[in-house]
Amino acid sequence: MSRVARRRVISERVVTVCVLLGALAGCAAQRGRIETAVKGPPTPWTQLRVADDPDDFHFAVIPDRGGGERPGVFGDAVRKTALLRPAFVMSVGDLIQGYDADAAELDRQWDEFAGLIEPLDMPFFRVAGNHDVERPPQAAKWKERFGPSYYSFTYRGVLFLCLDTQAAGAPRLGDEQIGYFADVLKRHRRPRWTFVFMHWPVWRREDPAGFERIEALLGERPYTVFAGHGHEYLLATRNGRQYIQLATAGGASDVAGVKAGHFDHITSVTMTADGPRIANLTLDGILPVDVRTAESAAKPQQ
């Protein structure tokens, strides 16, 4: 190929790349915007700035099912969580009944739980509860199947801490775990936000089981704490932060209602530039698209 021909090919390729980049820039300019041919004012809408910041995301938290499960409720919570399409799903422990079960029975229970969360096509993060890891056979089975019982991860600049409140007794965090999270917090000094998940709401105990050391490490950073265990919803403010004890998703409960804090629910958390927006969704308030169909409507009502 002659030098002139090579230059022509290179020039054509550059033009093609520029056209493609221009098209992509145009698409990027339109992405996240509402486009309309209607000119105003006046207009039939309030504004066109949508609540869709690319750094925003939402995740769900499903409360525990331990201490005498009411069959079918947790599975219902999982299916309805899947309908909400969160980025991922968190838990607060007591995922199985555990305790005196032998190794084979523990495997059966964990296999059953795997089936329950199968409708979720997004990540599910396990948090260890007393029903899951309190006794040595349970702890050994957890380690065999899932590895560490406490860990951390980040997503879009947000730090997530998953504690094991049974790691050194009932309940107790222990020096090893506290040392681990001290290192994590040292490496992540300025996340957008920090979320702490655990099973026991140890801040409510006279002896907070070592959690006071975690609080000292959290310092002045913005954070929110979630726990389960009590099967009774309760929001508290501590250190100027929100500490939330969730109710249940099928765990032992008289289901006396919202005023008593005894209800089955999913917690939805949307992370925004101004911090998390948290909403509790009761299971009977989340209805699938086929809640009433033409066929079912035509049938005689019972």
Mean pLDDT value across residues 197-208: 94
Instruction: Identify the band that residue 4 occupies on the pLDDT scale cut at 50, 70 and 90.
Output: very low
Q: Which domains are seen in the chain, by residue range?
A: 57-285 (3.60.21.10)
What gap in Å lies between CA 223 and CA 50, rounded to an integer?
26
**Predicted confidence (pLDDT) per residue in 72-101, tens digit:** 999 999 999 999 999 999 999 999 999 877
- Residue range 171-198: mean pLDDT, rounded: 96
With beta carbons less than 8 A apart as the criterion, state whether 234 and 200 touch: no
Q: What are the tens digits of pLDDT across the range 239-251?
A: 999 999 999 999 9
Residue-wise pLDDT for 262-272, tens only, equals 999 999 999 99
DSSP 247-284: -BSSSS----BTTTTB-BEEEEEEEETTEEEEEEEEGG
At 108, list the tokens. 């059966």
Backbone dihedral angles phi then psi of residue 22, each to the nearest 5 degrees:
-65, -40
- Residue, of 19 and 288, whose pLDDT is higher: 288
pLDDT at 66 over 70: yes
Span 281-302, pLDDT tens digits: 999 999 999 999 999 999 887 6
Helix/strand/coil for 172: coil
pLDDT of residue 302: 67
Angle between helices 136-146 and 103-116 (to 10 degrees): 50
pLDDT interval class at 31 (50, 70, 90): low
Confidence of residue 32 (pLDDT cuts 50, 70, 90): low
Sign, CA dihedral 141-128-58-293, equals positive
Residues in the chain, how many?
A: 302
Can you read off the two tokens belonging to residue 177? 């775990």
The kind and range of the H/E element at 225 are: strand 223-227
Q: Is the pLDDT of residue 230 over 80?
A: yes
Phi, psi (5° rounding) for residue 298? -80, -15
- Residue 100 is predicted with a pLDDT of 74
The owner of tokens 């957008």 is: 192
Q: What's residue 171's pLDDT?
A: 86
The strand pairing partners of 90, in sequence order, are 61, 125
Q: How many helices (H) and strands (E) does the chain have?
A: 8, 11
More confident site: 295 or 7: 295
111-169 confidence digits (pLDDT tens):
999 999 999 999 999 999 999 999 999 999 999 999 999 999 999 999 999 999 998 77
The reported pLDDT for the residue numbered 85 is 97
CB 182 within 8 A of CB 219: no
pLDDT at site 24 = 42
pLDDT tens-digit map of 158-172: 999 999 999 877 789
Torsion of CA 271, 273, 279, 281, to 10 degrees: -40
Exposed/middle/buried for 232, CB within 10 Å: 0-12, 13-18, 19+? Answer: middle
Q: How far apart are CA 228 and CA 247, in angstroms?
A: 7
Residue 118 corresponds to which tokens in the numbers above?
């199968």
Cα–Cα distance, 289 to 273 (Å, whole number): 31
Mean pLDDT, to the nearest integer, of 255-279? 97
Going by pLDDT thresholds of 50, 70 and 90, the confidence category of residue 9 is: very low
| Average pLDDT score over the chain | 89
3-state secondary structure of 89: strand
Edge-first strand order for the sheet with 57-62 is 124-125, 89-91, 57-62, 265-272, 275-282
The pLDDT of residue 20 is above 70: no
